Structure 1
Amino acid sequence: MRYRNFPMVPRVVFGNGSFLQLGEILMPKRKNSEAPFIFFIDDVFDGQPLITEVPLLFNDQIIFISSEEEPKTEQVDALVAKIKESFPVLPSGIIGIGGGTLLDLAKAVALMLTNDGSAAAYQGWDLVKKPAIYHVGIPTISGTGAEVSRTTVLMGPEKKLGINSDHTPFDQVLLDPKLTQGVPKEQWFFTGMDCYIHCIESLNGTYLNAFSQSYGEKALELCHEVYLKDISKEDSRDKLMMASWHGGMSIAYSQVGIAHAMSYGLSYLLGVKHGIGNCLVFQYLEEFYPEGVKVFKQMQEKHQIKLPTGICAHLSEEQFDIMINVSFGLVPLWENALGDNWKEIMTYDRLLQLFKKI
């Protein structure tokens, strides 16, 4: 029996206002005045007070990036090329500030600055050979678990699949719940449900073990508090940030399941954002996660969240085929959800009927 020896984020700061410590954290990691820190920041912060608090020195650079679309391998390649053209030496580090999209881009660019070729060549498990440059994750919305995971989920020319490697996790994470103030309600719900669905899929999977269970149960308990109880906004921000961290840790040593596999298909074909994609799928998975779906619907009702309908109503056979093949390509997710004989349980036609409901 071989056990996974997986990496964890070595350093983490948590607390309201901890963002102001970023300059002090980065200073010892600065190689010299020629090697900049590159800050990838969600463009919703362009012109906002947060930008004045970014600790820029020398030739450090801010690159604003839209999180409207899922991160792409070609986007990673373009950012790497831009950085290499702009600076004669490798940067001191990459800092991602934003939601899952920004965090995944920061991880991917940090990897690709030291590994040759296109990011698309590294989509899969353990294909990265060289360590990334120093990289820091600072989430401004909670739920994806991107701040703690060993994957960077990217849309490639042929598939949506993460760069899963021991070199992917951040060297430093800064968790400041204050940064999540002002997140629109629907986005707060969909991203939080990404965490909730992580937990349900991990806790009901065949890969479950005491390690992932301990983190998953804590994350699930926190999600229940945030989305079902009436707690203060400050308490809610703190707890959801911790739920995201624990949910990410839970799947680090297990896996997600059916909703995530199907959401990848939706995202690849239709560009549906990951959080809302998970919700669109999960509402129809009662036969696999009965209690989880029941509670999800209670949360949805409490916060008066309406999901779009008819997303797949006008798709062609070819389009359904693409979605299904992308989903089926995520073999570990299906194994975790349904066991080794998953192909006998989730047939092509059964998956097609599920997609047709959305």
Structure 2
Amino acid sequence: MKFRNFKTVPRMIFGRGSFEQLDDVLAEQRQTDQDFVVFAVDSVHKGKPLEGRIPALPQDMILWVDVTDEPKTTYVDALTIEVQKFGKGNNPVSVVGLGGGSTLDLAKAISLMLTNEGGSASYQGWDLIKNPAVHHVGIPTLSGTGAEASRTTVLTGPDKKLGMNSDYTVFDQIIMDPDLIKGVPTDQWFYTGMDCYIHGIEALNGTYINEFARAFGEKSLDLCREVYLDDHPDADEKLMMASYMGGQSIAYSQVGACHALSYGLSYVLGYHHGIGNCIVMDVLDEFYPEGVREFREMMKKHNITLPKGITKGMSEDDMQKMIRVSSGLAPLWDNVYGPDWQQHVTPALLRSLFEKM
């Protein structure tokens, strides 16, 4: 048996106010006066106080990214070209992602595509990246996706939604400052946090589970419960660590049915990852009964109402696309059912689940 030699984020800073150390982190990468940094920042922060705190030097590039839609391979390629034009033949010494999971994924993807030829769609899959990325830093301003800890950058391509899963994708540095996630709208805070909760439920109930993944997954779920059921006074710190630990848990295990179906849902209907996961989780009683029960308890406590009837009247062509995308995620279904997963994951099963949404 060959064990996975998995890579984790090598350097991290945690604590309120730690964002102020970003300048010191970047100074280590700058060797000459011409060295420049690219800050990929969620455009929601444009004109807000955080913009004035970005430690950009005159030669640096602030790249405002639009995450209205889930990150697309075409958008990654367009942003990469912008950076290449700005650099006039030189790569930045670091790419800094500042935002939620989609922004962090875009920063990862840009850092990879600056050193790997061709379009990003050709790297959707497992271990297809050939060359190390440009140094990249992840700074979440939303917590839950685990993007700061994971080895994937989830992208919607021309024919599938699938990450660029690679050891080179992992951030070189993360800064986790709980001050940065204050004041997030309740719905967004809930949907993004539930991504973390669902990571734990899928990992702990999967066939890939092991004591490494279990240790992180159980603690992540405990923290989620303190945040979403107990209203803990240190909720921001706890959610930030739950997100990181959730990402660590699935690094040595895998997600499952909820994520597989959510990928199909968002590929066709465009739902963001967090709310897409929540819509799917609400119909998975047969897969994760206890997790779904607790999830609904959290929804009730925070007055969350999910969209209903979203697949009603859907064209057969769109239904088939959702089924195709969801059924194509072999490792996720292997984690649910084991090696004989194809006997269970039939078009009829997937259709029945989508129709409940």
Q: Which residue of 2 aligns with 1:104?
A: 105
Q: C-alpha distance in 2, partners of 1:311/1:221?
A: 32
Which SS does the other structure have where 2:38 is aligned?
strand
Q: Which residue of 1 aligns with 2:345?
A: 346
Contact 2:140 2:148 in 1 (8 A): yes
Q: Which residue of 2 aligns with 1:221?
A: 222
Q: TM-score with structure 2 length normalisation? A: 0.99
Q: C-alpha distance in 2, partners of 1:128/1:344?
A: 31
Q: C-alpha distance in 2, partners of 1:246/1:129?
A: 28
Q: Which residue of 1 aligns with 2:294?
A: 295
After superposition, residues 66-145 of structure 1 pair within 5 angstroms as: 66-88=66-88, 89-145=90-146
Cα RMSD after superposing both structures: 0.8
Q: Which letter maps to 2:160?
A: K
Deviations 1:188-225 (A, max 9, x none): 00000000000000000000001000000000000011
Which SS does the other structure have where 2:296 is aligned?
helix
Q: Which residue of 1 aligns with 2:166?
A: 165
Q: C-alpha distance in 2, partners of 1:157/1:347?
A: 24
Contact 1:34 1:58 in 2 (8 A): no
Contact 2:206 2:335 in 1 (8 A): yes
Q: C-alpha distance in 1, partners of 2:2/2:99?
A: 36
Which SS does the other structure have where 1:167 is aligned?
helix
Which SS does the other structure have where 2:169 is aligned?
coil
Indicate yes or no: 2:176 matched with 1:175: yes
Q: C-alpha distance in 1, partners of 2:192/2:313?
A: 27
Q: Which letter maps to 2:286?
A: E
After superposition, residues 167-316 of structure 1 pair within 5 angstroms as: 167-232=168-233, 235-316=234-315
Deviations 1:93-150 (A, max 9, x none): 1000000110000000000000000000000000001000000000000000000000
Q: C-alpha distance in 2, partners of 1:165/1:226?
A: 31
Moved more, 195-204 or 307-316: 307-316
Q: C-alpha distance in 2, partners of 1:33/1:91?
A: 12
Unaligned runs of 5+ in 1: none
Q: Quote the offset at 1:86 in angstroms.
A: 1.7
Contact 1:41 1:62 in 2 (8 A): yes
Q: Which residue of 1 aligns with 2:27?
A: 27
Unaligned runs of 5+ in 2: none
Q: C-alpha distance in 2, partners of 1:285/1:154?
A: 24
Deviations 1:243-262 (A, max 9, x none): 00000000000000000000
Identity among equivalent positions (%) equals: 56
Deviations 1:144-196 (A, max 9, x none): 00000000000101110000001000000000000001100000000000000
Q: C-alpha distance in 2, partners of 1:31/1:98?
A: 27
Q: Aligned pair in 2 of structure 1 residues 29, 324: CA closer, same or farther (>3 Å)?
A: same
Q: Which letter maps to 1:116?
A: E
Which SS does the other structure have where 2:22 is aligned?
helix
Contact 2:327 2:345 in 1 (8 A): no
